Each structure stands twice: as C-alpha cells, then as structure tokens.
Structure 1
Amino acid sequence: MKGMNATTGRTITGLDHLYQSIAKIVTTPLATCVKRRTFGAEHADLVDAPNNGATRTRLYAATAAALMRWEPRLSLTRVALSVDDSIANGQQVLDIEGYTTESGDSVKTRVNLDAGTIL
C-alpha cells in the first residue's frame, strides 16, 4: 500500500507505511477524529488507572481491538508494555509483533505511548 509520510509529506510504502499506521491507531484517543469517531484506541481511558495486571490486560485488549479493526494488513501475535530507559524519564512503550497479511513479512515495532512516535 502507498501512503504519505506524516512528517515529510513524501511517499511511503511497505512496512514503513504499516508502522506509521500502527502508531497512529494506537496513539489516537477514541472519538477525536470528527468523521471517524470510532477510530483510535481506548488508551486515554487508562491514563490514571493503577499500574497493575488488570490495567495492563485492558491496555493489551484495547490495542489488539483497535489494530484488528483499523489495520487489516496486520495479523497481531504479541503486544507487550515496557519502560524504555533510553528515552527521557523512562517513558512507556508498546512492543507490537505480528506479520503482514499481504506478504507474510515479520512485523516488529515499538510505539512510544507518550509521544506517539515509532522507535
């Protein structure tokens, strides 16, 4: 699939386009896109929730549901929450793994939940 790089405006294809799409889906709060109220993930609802197993399970479920609904090119196999100490203040990141439904290529990306960027 062909698309546009959100930063540079240039053409983007392949896994780079998929990774950008994953980051956009995961970091967009629900009901913030005017014409697509159901686009995004429920992560904003979990911001003030306690950091325990139940909240992490809800975060994984929200991530999986959003990606399964909005990204048909991805077959998700794993979602994990971790803290990246190389980023300032040890921000939380989601490690997302799977494979593409188009070519079967392995997909492995890390999304910074605070900034919405691909790492």
Structure 2
Amino acid sequence: MSRITGHEIPMNQHIQQSIIDIITTRIGSRVMRREYGSLLPELIDRPANDENMMQLMSATVIALSIWEPRITATFVNFTPVSNAGLVDLEIAATIKESGEQFYMNQRLLRNPDALNDFVKGASA
C-alpha cells in the first residue's frame, strides 16, 4: 500500500518505499520501535570521501538485512553529485520469494535534517 495515496502498489514499488523508509529513519526515533532504522541519517552529511562512502554503503546493507526480509542486497553504491549537497543511491537486490532482480536509484539530499525530502527517484 502506498504511504502517500493509500492505494495498492506493485511489490517492487512497495519494496522501494520500504527501503527509503528504513534508510532514512534515524535509529532511536520511532516510538515503540527504537531499534528500527539505519545509521544513514548520522552519516550522510559527512565529507564525501571513500571512507565515508563505504560507511554509507555498510550502514545501508546492514539496515536492509535487518529490516527488509523480502530482499537480499547484492549491490549498494552512493555517488556524490558534485557540490550540490546531493547523493545518488543505487541498490540492486534479489527478491527472495521469486529470485527476481530488483533495482532502484534515488537522489537524496545530504542534509540529515531534511533526509526525507527526496529530489528524484526511479525504480525498475
């Protein structure tokens, strides 16, 4: 179900919606489910060097392995978008139930206080 419209959506769209919710939720911010979320909001605004990009990828894979049981992530990458304060996220995964491949990309703001303000996104 779409969290925006309340209408039924295809499974791939629901998985993408779930992934975005998981990775943009700061651990400790959910009442009654304090452990839910990821470290991404803590890490995203750090300098875009190799070490920090690797931490973003690791935090994403760990959060998805815990909170999104329908997929197995096979590829995660963050690419800074020059000095625009944006980062492009790419995720490839296998849907466990069907073995089908899943791919999404999402442009994120690097401001941790505005992490839920997505600029652009697409999935396949």
2:104 to 88, 100, 109: 109
Unpaired runs of 5+ residues, structure 1, are none
Tell me which residue corresponds to 1:73: 70
Q: Tell me, which stretches of 5 or more residues in structure 2 are unaligned?
A: 110-116
Give how far 1:84 is off: 5.3
In the alignment, structure 1 residue 20 sits paired with structure 2 residue 20: no
The answer on 1:5 being equivalent to 2:39 is no
| 1:100 has 2:100 as partner | no
The residue number in structure 1 matching 2:50 is: 53
- Cα–Cα, structure 1 residues 30 and 118, in superposed 2: closer, same or farther, change >3 Å? farther
With normalisation by structure 2, the TM-score equals 0.81
TM-aligned CA deviation for residue 9 of structure 1: 0.9
Q: Count how many residue pairs are aligned between Structure 1 and Structure 2.
A: 113
Contact preservation (8 Å) 2:48, 2:80: no
Root-mean-square deviation (CA, aligned residues, Å) is 1.9
Runs of 4+ aligned structure 1 residues displaced above 6 Å come to none
Question: Could you tell me how far 1:5 is from its partner in structure 2?
Answer: 0.2
Provide the identity percentage: 33
Per-residue deviation, 1:48: 4.0
